[in-house]
Amino acid sequence: MIDTALTLAARDGWAHLSISEIANAAGVPLSDALTRFSSKQVLLNTFRDQIDKTVIDGTDTDTFDQTARDRLFDIIMRRLDALGPWKEGIAAISRDTLRDPLENLCCHDLNRSMGLMIECAGLSSTGLRGFARTHGLTIIYLIVLHRWLKDDSTDMAPTMAELDKKLKSIEQFVQRFQPNIPTYYKKTANKN
């Protein structure tokens, strides 16, 4: 169902696509499809959860000797790699949801996923600092995702440059306004 939905989105757009159309194209009985996916948003949430799991499963705790910025860079790039096979469908969904402010505002909350990515980097996503980290990473991710969708290079160099630039900016911001917290970017993650 998810593969079919993303394929159909790339071909026909997302806005007018229905669960019944997706089920029919996937060869899944409508009753089964609607029991599993009561809406397209539920389907997208399931897809997002699968991507989260792929990134989490591929996280190596041996990388915790790197800086937090390097770990976050690696995690976001692995997330984009995981999304790669569905890039055209994701681009179509992104275009259509930008035209629907209500859907865009209400249905695309990436904060939970970005909180998991923060935790994968060995940082805490709880408390005030965790809240700021999670929301900051969500903003960075959306900017980088937009760049990635337009990046047709084979090595993703423009996307990597954008991600590196945004992570450096947030690092400099934190160091400027919280100079007594350089450990956030030190190599040890367990103090965060």
- Are the CB atoms for 53 and 11 separated by under 8 Å? no
Q: What is the share, in percent, of the chain residues with pLDDT greater than 70?
A: 83
106 pLDDT band (50/70/90 cuts)? very low
Residue 100 reports pLDDT greater than 70:
no
For the residues 28-38, what does the mean pLDDT come to? 97
Task: Give the start-to-end residue ranges of the domains of the chain.
Answer: 40-182
How far apart are alpha carbons 34 and 148 in whole angstroms? 32
Q: What is the share, in percent, of the chain residues with pLDDT greater than 90?
A: 67
**In 3D, which of 153, 142, 26, 158 has the Cα closest to residue 94?**
142
CATH class name, domain 40-182: mainly alpha
pLDDT in tens, 139-179: 999 999 999 999 999 999 999 999 999 999 887 776 666 55
The more confident residue out of 184 and 39 is: 39
> What is the reported pTM?
0.84
